[in-house]
């Protein structure tokens, strides 16, 4: 058990990357199998999004060092909200409360990215995808990657999250985000059932609908409970969902270098 724990701490980031690749490839193949698109069409859309891994991954890996350092510091000094919770020495209490707390912080982060204009300029690149599939998950501007991991440092410091909690959280988060963005859909009743607690593909697709107020709803990362609690939960028929952003129609959303420049270019809203 100690050997496994040590391996996760020493190679956690690499294990997450491998898991990420295995899951995203599996879902991508499943999507292709059930859609009517040709392999060429599917790949053309995927390639643009995959290019963002090249720009975002170095930023992610570089800043992850600071996340790990902060996590080690708060654990050593017993600092953070989790250490104020009764029975925080119990692993079940620590991990369950910590997971929900970190998920709430991610909800807050997502709301901030939509409401703060300078940050929205980076995050909107993710929303400009006119097609929704698992590759949309990695469509993240490197500027947003920097902001996201900086926020993660703050959340780890406030929560007092240990390395173990971070590994659990990010592993589940990785899987949840890939599922949420997939073109594949759950049966309606199954989606409705799981949607009472979790963000399902249908719920996240509503968040990617091209018009307000739907763009400003379903901010949840893993759990949908925060949207229900804070009044940002919405549903709509999947047949009515149109992906993209209505205010930026006419701008290139399929060319990687145009998308990288997008946050810095003066645009006229349509």
pLDDT tens by residue, 87-142:
888 989 999 999 999 999 999 999 999 999 999 999 999 999 988 899 999 999 99
In this prediction, residue 12 carries a pLDDT of 54
Classify residue 269: in a domain, yes or no. Answer: no
Q: Is residue 83 part of a domain?
A: yes
Q: Is 270 inside any structural domain?
A: no
Do residues 221 and 173 make contact, with C-beta atoms less than 8 angstroms apart? yes
Cβ neighbors of 186 (< 8 A, separation 6 or more) are: 194, 200, 201, 202
96 contact partners, CB below 8 Å, separation of at least 6: none
Output DSSP code: residue 1. -
Residue 243, classed as helix, strand or coil, is strand
Helices (H) and strands (E) in the chain, counts: 10, 0
Q: Is residue 250 part of a domain?
A: yes
* Interior angle at CA 123, CA 119 and CA 125, nearest 5: 135
pLDDT digits (tens, 9 = 90+) for 168-182: 998 899 889 999 999
- Per the CB < 8 A criterion, the answer to whether 250 and 265 are in contact is no
The per-residue pLDDT for 8 is: 47
| Contact residues for 21 (Cβ-Cβ < 8 A; gap 6+) | none
Looking at residue 57, what is its pLDDT?
Answer: 87
3-state helix, strand, coil in the chain (%, to 5): 70, 0, 25
pLDDT at 249: 57
Here the tokens at position 115 are: 């409401």
Other Cβ atoms within 10 Å of 120 Cβ, number: 15
Q: What is the pLDDT of residue 5?
A: 44
Q: CB count, 10 Å around CB of 10?
A: 10
Within a domain: 36: yes
Report the alpha-carbon distance of residue 177 to residue 179 in Å, rounded: 5
Note the pLDDT of residue 28.
77
What residues of the chain score a pLDDT lower than 50?
1-2, 4-5, 7-8, 270
pLDDT at position 268 is: 58
Look up the pTM and report it: 0.89
Domains of the chain: total: 1
Provide the pLDDT for residue 81.
97
- Contact assessment for residue 16 and residue 174, using Cβ atoms and an 8 Å cutoff: yes
And the tokens for 239?
A: 């047949």
pLDDT score recorded for residue 22:
82
pLDDT at residue 204 in the model: 96
Tell me what pLDDT residue 265 has.
78
Q: What pLDDT does 41 receive?
A: 81
Structural domain range at position 247? 2-264
Say how far apart CA 100 and CA 71 lie, in whole Å: 17
Could you give the 3-state DSSP secondary structure of residue 171?
helix
> Residue 180 falls within a domain, yes or no?
yes
User: Distance between alpha carbon 44 and the CA centroid of its chain, in Å?
Assistant: 22
Predicted pLDDT of residue 23: 79
Tell me, what's the pLDDT at 89? 87
């Amino acid at each position: 058990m100690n050997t496994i724990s040590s391996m996760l701490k020493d190679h956690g980031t690499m294990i997450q990357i491998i898991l990420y690749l295995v899951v995203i490839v599996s879902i991508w193949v499943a999507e292709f199998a059930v859609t009517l698109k040709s392999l060429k069409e599917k790949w053309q859309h995927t390639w643009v999004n995959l290019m963002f891994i090249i720009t975002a991954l170095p930023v992610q890996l570089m800043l992850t060092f600071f996340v790990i350092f902060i996590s080690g510091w708060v654990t050593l000094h017993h600092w953070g909200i989790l250490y104020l919770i009764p029975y925080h020495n119990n692993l079940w209490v620590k991990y369950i409360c910590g997971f929900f707390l970190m998920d709430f912080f991610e909800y807050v982060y997502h709301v901030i990215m939509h409401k703060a204009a300078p940050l929205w300029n980076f995050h909107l690149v993710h929303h400009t995808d006119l097609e929704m599939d698992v590759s949309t998950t990695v469509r993240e501007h490197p500027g947003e990657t920097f902001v996201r991991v900086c926020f993660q440092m703050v959340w780890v410091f406030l929560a007092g999250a240990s390395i173990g909690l971070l590994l659990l959280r990010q592993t589940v988060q990785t899987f949840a985000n890939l599922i949420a963005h997939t073109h594949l859909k759950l049966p309606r009743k199954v989606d409705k059932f799981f949607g009472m607690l979790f963000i399902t593909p249908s719920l996240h697709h509503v968040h990617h609908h091209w018009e307000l107020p739907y763009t400003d709803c379903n901010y949840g990362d893993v759990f949908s409970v925060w949207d229900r609690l804070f009044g940002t939960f919405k549903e709509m028929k999947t047949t009515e969902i149109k992906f993209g952003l209505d205010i930026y129609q006419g701008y290139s959303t399929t060319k990687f270098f145009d998308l990288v420049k997008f946050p810095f270019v003066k645009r006229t809203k349509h």
